[in-house]
Amino acid sequence: MFFCRKVFVLIVSIICSPMNGVSMTEKELILKLHDIGAIKFGEFTLKSGIISPYYVDLRPIISYPKLLRDLSELMWQKVVHVRADCVCGVPYTALPLACGISLRYNVPMIMRRKEAKDYGTKRIIEGEYKPGQTCIIVEDLFTTGGSAIETIILLEERDLIVKDVVIILDREQGGVQRVEQKGYNVYVVWKLSDIIQVLSDNQRIDREQLHAITQFTRENQCTM
């Protein structure tokens, strides 16, 4: 009887455990992102001029409060163990995510502007903070990690301490490694390979698209 119970528990644990590091709840969120058009497939011209077989735009999540809340919670769980006197969202897509973390977990938020105003306070960092405080950077995704690095530099110039960055998606083009080599910890909710595997398993993309995305990622690595 005891043996049967152990076997039953083992089977249940195998069924309920995440596959490829992605839980059932996370799979549902990935499918929801695809449903709302935050993840698209086709031919897209990137800022660099390169043609990509996929495009990720997380801006639509602001119109889906539950999805925004769930993504913010996933991000916080990645960094809940590290010190955070405040969080800073990288403009603009990550700002709602940082706000979601701030509201849900009562962590003060500061905000980096893309450009300082030429009137009023002329501040490029908005919100209240003190030198010596520790700040977690919140970003939507990494390609090169350049926007996060720019934000870190601005915060460190104001004597804030930055050790950790949390992102929703690593496009697996070298951005995470680039930021880590500069001495920062990067916490990732999903890798691109996680997302395309979930979408492939659920017949959202075919084998040809899967191959094209994998090849694109391999051939378009950022330089360190």
Dump pLDDT digits (tens) for 34-71: 999 999 999 999 877 889 999 999 999 999 999 999 99
pTM for the whole structure: 0.88
- The C-alpha angle with vertex 114 and arms to 55 and 132, in degrees rounded to 5, equals 115
Q: How many CB atoms lie within 10 A of CB 180?
A: 13
d(Cα 68, Cα 86) in Å, to the nearest integer?
A: 19
CA Rg value for the chain: 19
Structural domains of the chain, with CATH: 22-219 (3.40.50.2020)
Q: How many CB atoms lie within 10 A of CB 222?
A: 16
In terms of Cβ atoms closer than 10 Å to its own Cβ (0-12, 13-18, 19+), residue 207 is exposed
Mean pLDDT of the 186-209 span? 97
d(Cα 137, Cα 156) in Å, to the nearest integer?
A: 12
> What is the structure's pLDDT at 116?
67
The pLDDT confidence band at residue 196, using thresholds 50, 70 and 90, is: very high
For residue 178, give both structure tokens.
Answer: 């680039």
For residue 215, give both structure tokens.
Answer: 């090849």
Do the strands 86-89 and 109-112 form a parallel or antiparallel pair, or are they unpaired?
parallel
d(Cα 4, Cα 38) in Å, to the nearest integer?
A: 45
Model pLDDT for residues 141-173, shown as the tens digit of each residue: 999 999 999 999 999 999 999 999 999 999 999
Instruction: List Cβ neighbours of 176 (8 Å cut-off, separation of 6 or more).
Output: 142, 145, 167, 170, 186, 188
d(Cα 64, Cα 61) in Å, to the nearest integer?
A: 5
d(Cα 208, Cα 212) in Å, to the nearest integer?
A: 6
Closest CA to 79 of 168, 174, 143: 168
Model pLDDT for residues 69-103, shown as the tens digit of each residue: 999 999 999 999 999 999 999 999 999 999 999 99
d(Cα 152, Cα 89) in Å, to the nearest integer?
A: 11
